[in-house]
A and B are shown apart, each in its own frame.
Chain A
Amino acid sequence: MADGKPTTFTLSCPVPRVADDRIVLAHGGGGRLTHQLIEKIFLPAFSNAALDQRHDGAVLSLAGVTPGSRLAFTTDSFVVRPLIFPGGNIGDLAVNGTVNDLAMCGARPLYLSAGFILEEGLEIETLRIVVASMREAAVKAGVQLVTGDTKVVDKGKGDGIFINTSGIGIVESKTDLISGFERARLEPRRQEPGKTGALAPEGSGVPHACPEPAERVSPLLRDVGMRPPPIGPASVQPGDAVIISGDLGRHGIAILSVREGLEFESPILSDCANLWPAIEALLNAGIEVHCLRDLTRGGLATTLNEIAGDRNVCIKLEEALIPVDEVVQGACEILGLDPLYVANEGRFAAFVPEAQAAAALDVLKKVEVSQGSVRVGKVEETPGRTVVLQSRIGGNRVVDMLSGEQLPRIC
């Protein structure tokens, strides 16, 4: 070379190193290693007629679906750290999270897709654990994983594993006669143009769209040939009771316990679970469900604020009625967190007419995932767009939306 320096070639070796304990970039390349990953890890776990086709997409039969039923469709991405936490991991979180979003629409969950973004260097054993959890959660929920995708990013560009799951469910229909007068009576309250909630009307382009609400007929209404109001924030009325399906804060604390190195006498496990059995029970019992929402990021406070804001109502809570496990409370005290804002992955809120609250609780308590159900408050007209809490000592305060993530306080 003219300048006396030796030439160095930097060609990457054309023969892929067969790494059997860690993910390498080639696993996402579409070639031999990708196939190995699919054959060795994904297919054995999720094998079903659609997936075994190994095709670009899954073609699914609609046989057995009642005419007039509607499709529910949802998507979610999961980026939790640590990947594995007490009570679960990113895998069952992904399956249950998407199954629950469908359940909140009143839809029976049927099929899932899963897109994986893996980080170079991830231990394959970790992936095996995650996939095994997904399989178990899917079997429990009665859903099939019918299509998927894998990509690999450079080391440092991902948190080990990112998963996107999309889900399809069926909102079963049982149509009945309905008079014009009654239809008007059941129209959503003061629907503002352009307002979108998580359950927006068809065609509004909201990511989580459950295109048409559930059309189950409650025994109360069937007798007079009426269609019940659709399940969604739009149906929330002053006079509704607010029920939550169990105690708060387990998932968030389980995650934090790993990050902060907390020790427990008996460990707090994430409440990650499939909620459909509880919803199915409510619908089968003919309870007139106005709205369902799972209490994930931001906790109960955030969810209720969204609904109060969407519907311009006041949601009044009683602190003394809100269940928080003593150990979760202890962790919140020393971390300086408010349990109302801590994430849950196996809890939902239900809005039902006050007159049906007792019946709803009866039904829910018989289902394992909602056995801790309790009525915690009610919906009123004013002050609008506000969630108010009556504290344990009897004073009132507004429960606001969080601005950003809840930061622990020592002050």
Chain B
Amino acid sequence: MKFLSEYRDRKAAEQVAQAIRAKVTRPWTIMEICGGQTHTIVKSGLEDLLPREITLVHGPGCPVCVTPIELIDKAVAIAQRPEVIFCSFGDMLRVPGSLKSLFDVKAEGADVRIVYSPLDALKLAKTNPERQVVFFAVGFETTAPANAMAAWQAGHDGVENFSLLVSHVLVPPAMEALLSSSNCVVQGFLAAGHVCTIMGYEEYIPIAAHYKVPIVVTGFEPLDLLEGILMTVTQLEEGRYEVENQYSRAVRREGNRPAQQRMAEVFEVSPRQWRGLGEIPASGFQLRGRFQKYDANLRFAFSGEPARESPECIAGLILQGIKKPHDCPAFAVKCTPENPLGAPMVSSEGACAAYYHYGRRQTHDVHSELPSPASR
């Protein structure tokens, strides 16, 4: 497939990996923000190609993982109402709430449907006028334009039986929260390429300057990540801390203007709870003005019990990159994908799920038994 397969080429990957090895003179800790990037890193075994000096930590780049547990409980409660068709991306289905997940209530008979686009949910609302269609609008800035359009089209077409349960989170405030923490171990960032496709990368310039960290806007294929790491390492070795754009085939400095305009029309910035991190001011979106009537949070009264997190889950420390999944005593023992205690074990991007599925167990790191392809 064009613009995909070339970025998975072995020879090219080896070349960039070699360039990284040639550059590195001391240890560096680099964080990738986006869950999609974590997925690629783990799936392609990218770390096997990197020199030992580079430590990759996985950031809170999983909107699924950071959606507050109260919102999951709300989603579950709404889905259980007989008049509701509850639509969601597949990623959200198995995330555990205080008691149940959407998957659990689906099995119990709730009308929960997986969709690939918020417009699919809007279509369902139009073809099922007697039902209430609710869409779980979770995501980073990448997904916000699509959700904004769904709300806008609903308004335009006069669709009343449609609403959004919004859980949008913004990357720059989360990055700042991480960087300002005294525990911060991160020295360089791979910024989320698709978020920047929408938002551009201007907002990262003051962050790079203030915290003196290089930030490289990076894509999602193995070659993109390797190149992003090379560019970050080069800055670190040279003592620079600038914003650079590896993903220039998709990202422009100013981002996608039409998308930003539509988002500004439909959403406004608001404080947000990040599961495992707490409340971060100005870090989320909520519906504004005439679109507030599509807010499922306001449309459906909720009188549930207060949310309860598992006391054993250390998601917060994992999401900040302070601990790795196999540092958690419950990892792969009590907490498994079949029985997750927290969101990072469920989401396909969650660090814990990635580690579990791709072989880093508590008892032994399978990778340590495998010969490294780039023997150094």
Contacts and interface: CB of A to CB of B under 8 A. Distances in A.
Tell whether A pairs with B: yes
A393 B114 contact: no
6 contacts: A333-B1, A335-B116, A393-B44, A393-B222, A404-B338, A411-B89
A411 B47 contact: no
Interface stretch (B209-217, B289-297, B355-363): B355-363
A266 interface: no
B250 interface: no
A335 B373 CA distance: 31
Interface string B1-13: 1001000111001
Nearest to B364: A383
A403 B89 contact: no
A329 to B, nearest CB: 7
A400 B359 contact: yes
A339 to B, nearest CB: 12
B366 A383 contact: yes
Contact of A411 (B62, B93, B338): B62
A359 interface: no
Given A329-B1, A408-B116, A411-B63, A391 B348 contact: no
Nearest to B65: A411
B90 interface: yes
A393 B336 contact: no
A183 to B, nearest CB: 33
Given A320-B10, A400-B356, A390 B114 contact: no
B366 A393 contact: no
A128 B273 CA distance: 57
Given A396-B367, A400-B356, A400-B359, A390 B90 contact: no
Interface in A396-411: 396-398, 400, 403-404, 407-411
Interface residues of B, number: 49
A388 interface: yes
Interface in B9-38: 9-10, 13-14, 35-36
Contact of A394 (B62, B63, B374): B374
Contacts of B301: none
Given A333-B1, A386-B359, A393-B49, 8 more contacts: A336-B90, A383-B366, A383-B369, A394-B13, A397-B42, A404-B103, A407-B114, A411-B89
A190 interface: no
Interface in B120-172: 143
A410 B366 CA distance: 28
Nearest to A314: B369
Interface in A27-86: none
Contacts of A185: none
Interface string A368-405: 00000000000000110010101111111110100110
Main DSSP-derived SS at the A contact region: loop
A396 B370 contact: yes
Contact of A400 (B93, B143, B358): B358
Nearest to B13: A393
B347 interface: yes
B30 to A, nearest CB: 17
Nearest to B42: A397
A393 B41 CA distance: 11
- 5 smallest A-B Cβ distances: which pairs? A395-B45, A398-B359, A407-B90, A395-B48, A393-B13
A260 interface: yes
B14 A394 contact: yes
B79 interface: no
A392 B8 contact: yes
B265 interface: no
B334 interface: no
A395 B338 contact: no
Interface string B262-303: 000000000000000000000000000000000000000000
B373 A396 contact: yes
B349 interface: yes
A411 B64 contact: yes
B8 A408 contact: no
B337 interface: yes
A411 B347 contact: yes
A262 to B, nearest CB: 10
Contacts of B223: 393
A410 B359 contact: no
B44 A382 contact: no
Nearest to A329: B1
A403 to B, nearest CB: 4
Contact of B45 (A329, A391, A400, A411): A391
Contact of B10 (A333, A394, A403, A411): A394
Contacts of A408: 89-90, 114, 116
B94 A407 contact: yes
Contacts of A394: 10, 13-14, 45, 48-49, 373-374
A395 B36 contact: no
A390 B94 CA distance: 29
Contacts of A330: 1
A388 B372 CA distance: 13
Q: Identify which of A333, A336, A394 gathers the most chain B CB atoms within 10 Å of its CB.
A: A394
Contacts of B308: none
A315 to B, nearest CB: 13
A223 interface: no
Contacts of B8: 392-393
B309 interface: no
